[in-house]
Amino acid sequence: MDRTFDIKHYRGFFSITCLCLVILYGPLIIVMIYSFNDSVSITNWGGISLRWYVEIFTGLESAKFKAAAWNSFSIAIMAAIVSTVIATAAAIGMIRGGNFKGKFASFALISLPIMVPEIVTAVATLIFFSTIGFKLGTLSILVAHTVFCIPFAYLPISARLQGIDASYEEAAQDLFANRWKTFRYVLMPIMWPGIVAGFLLAFIISLDDFIITNFIKGAGIETLPTAIFGSVKQGIKPNIMALSTLLLLFSIALVTLSYFIGKRGEANQNTQQ
């Protein structure tokens, strides 16, 4: 046993792993610390304060930030709901549909938004909307985000569905449940953790998106990332660091939530089988 461990172990790999985590978290932690800096300068430390957090909600730019936050969150919620519904249907069709002609093509189409570079998606969507005369604004952002979120919602949902034995549905059928009732009362409760995970991922992806939104937002409409980008172009300001910290903590909270839901789902699945 000792020897196996020795063979597996390479000196220095632990240090590199620690370095990896320092690289990943270092910049984020430093921005978090400096967001509490009670100084107008971003270089000098002037003691701890919450003034920049107050500034976001009451300062000169607060109206802009509130509008941007409203746009970001309303678009993210709607895009996540629509893409999760579409992705759930697609996952059932792909995984419970058996083998059919064009299955690979169907899978490629569903994954297309992940495979095409984001900037290309942005260009193509802008050209498309301007050609058909679709007015650029919140609706165009919503449509683009929905498309982009589908594969992100699809992956955890289909992974979950693959782990579910079809015998549950067959049992429901034997008890004369129709297709909808089989889905609603049998399949959906078991799939639920996958659906929630997919929804949360889609939500974060939409909330975080900058490149596509920047191309198709139209004049005068901002989401949080585009508002932050606009500010940062003129130099990093302390209030932006406070805003970034809030957004960052929100994302981390959602990912943690998604992680624990996934874990609970796994535990349930194990007890069921």
Considering only residues 34 through 63, tell me which ones interact with another protein, judged by CB under 8 A.
34, 42-43
Residue list 134-163, contact with another protein (CB under 8 A): 143-144, 146-147, 150, 154-155, 158-159, 161-162
48 bridge partner residues: 37
User: Six-digit token pair at 19?
Assistant: 């370095």
- Crossing angle between the packed helical segments 138-162 and 62-95, to the nearest 10 degrees: 40
Are 193 and 262 contacting, i.e. CB atoms less than 8 angstroms apart? yes
Assess 257 for contact with another protein (CB under 8 A): no
First-last CA distance in the chain? 32
Q: Which stretch binds another protein (CB under 8 A): 52-60, 63-71, 115-123, 189-197?
A: 115-123
Residue list 75-114, contact with another protein (CB under 8 A): 85-87, 89-98, 100, 103-104, 106-107, 109-113
Question: H-helix or E-strand containing 24?
Answer: helix 13-34
All residues at 6 or more sequence positions from 107 whose CB lies less than 8 Å from its CB, including other chains: 94
Residue list 203-242, contact with another protein (CB under 8 A): 204, 207-208, 210-211, 214-215, 225, 228-229, 232, 236, 240-241
Number of residues that bind another protein (CB under 8 A): 107
Nearest to 121 by CA among 61, 225, 211: 211
Nearer to another protein, 58 or 99 (CB): 99
Assess 8 for contact with another protein (CB under 8 A): yes
Residue list 166-195, contact with another protein (CB under 8 A): 166, 169-170, 173, 179, 182-183
